[in-house]
A and B are shown apart, each in its own frame.
Chain A
Amino acid sequence: MNHWIDIAYMLSAGAFIFGIKQLSSPATARRGNILSSAGMLLAIIVTLLNKGILDFQWIVVGVVAGSVIGALAARLIAMTSMPEMVALFNGSGGLASMLVAWEAHRRSPSAEGFQNATVLISVFIGALTFTGSLIAWGKLSGKLPGRPFLFPGQKPLNLLLILGVIGVAIAFCLGGGANATFFYAILGVALLLGVLTTIPIGGADMPVIIALLNSYSGLAACATGFVLRNNVLVVTGSLVGASGIILTQIMCKAMNRSLGNVLFSGFGSASASKKQDQIEGEVKPISVEDTFILLEAARSVAVVPGYGMAVAQAQHAVHELGEILEANGAQVQYAIHPVAGRMPGHMNVLLAEANVPYEQLVEMEAINPVMETVDVCLIIGANDIVNPAAAEDPTSPIHGMPIIEAHKARTVIVMKRSMASGFAGIDNALFFRENSRMLFGDARQTLQGLVAEFKG
């Protein structure tokens, strides 16, 4: 019987691997996700046949409760709230791994050092993922301030806590895993560290932290696999762990910063912007009517969306304007920066929701060489990712970050609520350029105003 279980687990792992592979193309992605969920169902059914399961009452309660909560959350959530939803699901994965390892340790305590070490690693990563994700959720949903939260001695405190955990963990393992106080101390500090390591991360660095937490949730499952000596958990956990790390790297690269810098620098706090020189020049506002005249004459339009588009829920209005411009004979492209928004691929999901064909979405590397041929570059709620200071001003805190070179377009229209600086806390040199015009107001209302101009 046990062999059959292992063979079924192997099939599940295969389904996950091919499922992820199919996720690499929009045409097969949905099938891939269904394949992967079939693999999960198989793993669940096979586990239920295990002779170790004696009591089904609690299982029914748990599965029904979890399914109802999960399904409702997945159905009801608005697409603009996707980042915080993903953070919450991540957190529940981490919590599950933590609890499973804790329960395994309680039910069958072992005096063996390695076994206890795996329990501690699993509990530690799981707890870190859980509270870290909760903080990320709070920041993304606006329930906590998005600015980095810094206090004196933050880094030494974290270091001290980590060293403390390592010391207590060694003592716990050497003591045969019998000391419950040590165990709870590690659990508590891990929960605390999840909070402490996430609060200094600012809003626009969230894509990195979401990807990293995703990786943690995989590693937690993997560690739990070692605790339970279960191969499917190890395979799957390490797959997810690796995928999260790759995504984290891609996000860091898109900001030209190291992971260490994202995690520890408190980037975007007020102190980071002190060195900035005052930018010379003048901001030139533009009205909806004048923007309409510019757009009407444009043959080539590039739209650069940012987090502001998500906040204003302007994606449908963006698409409507895009279609009108196309009907008017213009070529419309949507230039997507890899870290635009609050999670990897955030803008893509929103534009997909609004039915923008993905052929019109172009990556930064593709749009920059042709930016000079663009008549009007329409910037909707994006800021730091189009700041030319990143390329031109060596003293800028974001110097070296790859940007969408909007300033090279013939005319740049910046849609913005106010002159407030972007996440990095620095003025945007783009707004002061000769070819820039500022279109102030709520992005959605402004876009609807433009659409009305075209129709009227």
Chain B
Amino acid sequence: MGPWIALAVGGLWAAGIFLLLRRSLVKAVLGLALLGYATNLLLVAAAGAARRAAPIVPPGAEALPAGAADPVPQALVLTAIVIGFGVQAFVLVLLKRLHAETGSDDLDHLEGRGP
């Protein structure tokens, strides 16, 4: 499981960076979204991908059973997803405003060099 997640994280990062380096701002936003997903996956994997049982202490026991997932990274990922959602919404509105102002989503037209 671990190597596959590592590959997925690496692939998503690569795709995200590739999109960020494009001139089109729409692609840059998609790239940022991919980077966000990759990082969330990384956070889950960092806690150990093999530990997948629900982190509930059984009645009568004092500690979590072996193989229980660590709940902390899941809380972190949840926070990161919420923050990422808000930020992406803002970026989309910013892009829409920029498109209304310049009629283009090309980085080269930002400074008024284009049409």
Q: A and B, one complex?
A: no
Residues of A within 8 A of B (CB): none
